[in-house]
Amino acid sequence: MTIYEVARHAGVSIATVSRVLRGTAPVAEQTSARVRAAAQALHFTPNRLGRSLAEGRHAANGIVFPDLVGPYYAEVVLGYEEAASELGSSVLILATGRRRDAAAAVVELAGRVDGLVIMGNTVDDATAAGIAAGGVPVVLLAREPLAGIDTIRTRNAASAKVLAAHLVEHGHRRIAFLGDPAGSPDVAGRFAGLAAGLRAAGLPAPEPVSCGLETAAGEAAAAVLLDGDRPDAIVGANDEVALGALLAAAAVGLRVPDDLAVTGWDDVLAARFAGLTTVRQPMRELGATAARWVHRRIAERTADPNRPLAPARRRILPTQLVVRRSCGHHGTPGGS
Partner DNA sequence: GTGAAAGCGCTAACAG
Partner DNA sequence: CTGTTAGCGCTTTCAC
Q: Where does this chain bind DNA (CB under 7 A)?
A: 2-4, 11-16, 18-19, 21-22, 24-28, 30-32, 46-47, 49-51, 53-56
Q: Does residue 220 belong to the site contacting its own copies (CB under 8 A)?
A: no
Binding-site member from 38, 91, 187, 290 for its own copies (CB under 8 A): 91
Q: What x-and-dash track marks residues 47-86 binding its own copies by CB under 8 A? A: xxxx-xx----x-x------xxxxx-xxx-xx--xx--x-
Length of the chain: 336
Number of H helices, E strands in the chain: 13, 12
Phi, psi of 236 (to 5 degrees): -85, 145
107 touches which of DNA, its own copies, none (CB within 5 to 8 A by kind)? its own copies
Q: Which is nearer to DNA, 134 or 148 (CB)?
A: 134
User: Residue 292: exposed, middle, or buried by beta-carbon count in 10 A (0-12, 13-18, 19+)?
Assistant: middle
Query: Please, which residue, 24 or 336, has the CB nearer to DNA?
Result: 24
Task: Tell which residue, 286, 249, 266, has the closest CA to residue 213.
Answer: 266
**Which burial class, exposed, middle or buried, applies to 46 when counting CB atoms under 10 A from its CB (0-12, 13-18, 19+)?**
middle
- Name which of its own copies, DNA, none residue 130 binds, using a CB cut-off of 5 to 8 Å depending on partner kind: its own copies
Candidate list 272, 314, 316, 318; residue touching its own copies; CB under 8 A: 272
Contact 106, 124 (CB under 8 A): no
97 contacts its own copies (rule: CB under 8 A): yes
Task: Report, in Å, the least distance between residue 278 CB and DNA.
Answer: 46
Residue 230: how many other CB atoms lie within 10 Å: 16
For its own copies, the closer of residues 89 and 159 by Cβ is 89
3-state secondary structure of 120: coil
Cβ count within 10 A of residue 227: 10
Please state, as a whole number, how many other Cβ atoms lie within 10 Å of the Cβ of residue 201: 15
Nearer to DNA, 51 or 315 (CB): 51
Q: Which residues contact 149 (CB under 8 A, 6 or more apart)?
A: 128, 129, 132, 138, 139, 140, 312
State the binding string over 24-53 for its own copies (x if CB under 8 A, else -): -------------------xxxxxxxx-xx
Does 105 participate in binding its own copies (rule CB under 8 A)?
A: yes
Closest distance of CB 294 from DNA, Å: 20
φ/ψ of 250, rounded to 5, equals -60, -35
Instruction: Give min distance, CB of 286 to its own copies, in A.
Output: 14
| HSE, side-chain direction, 13 A CA sphere, residue 104 | 3
Judged by CB under 8 A, how many residues of this single chain contact its own copies? Answer: 57
Q: In the complex with its own copies, which residue's Cβ is closer, 97 or 318?
A: 97
Binding site for its own copies (CB under 8 A): 1, 43-50, 52-53, 58, 60, 67-71, 73-75, 77-78, 81-82, 85, 90-95, 97, 99, 105, 107-112, 130-131, 133-136, 215, 240, 243, 246, 268-270, 272-274
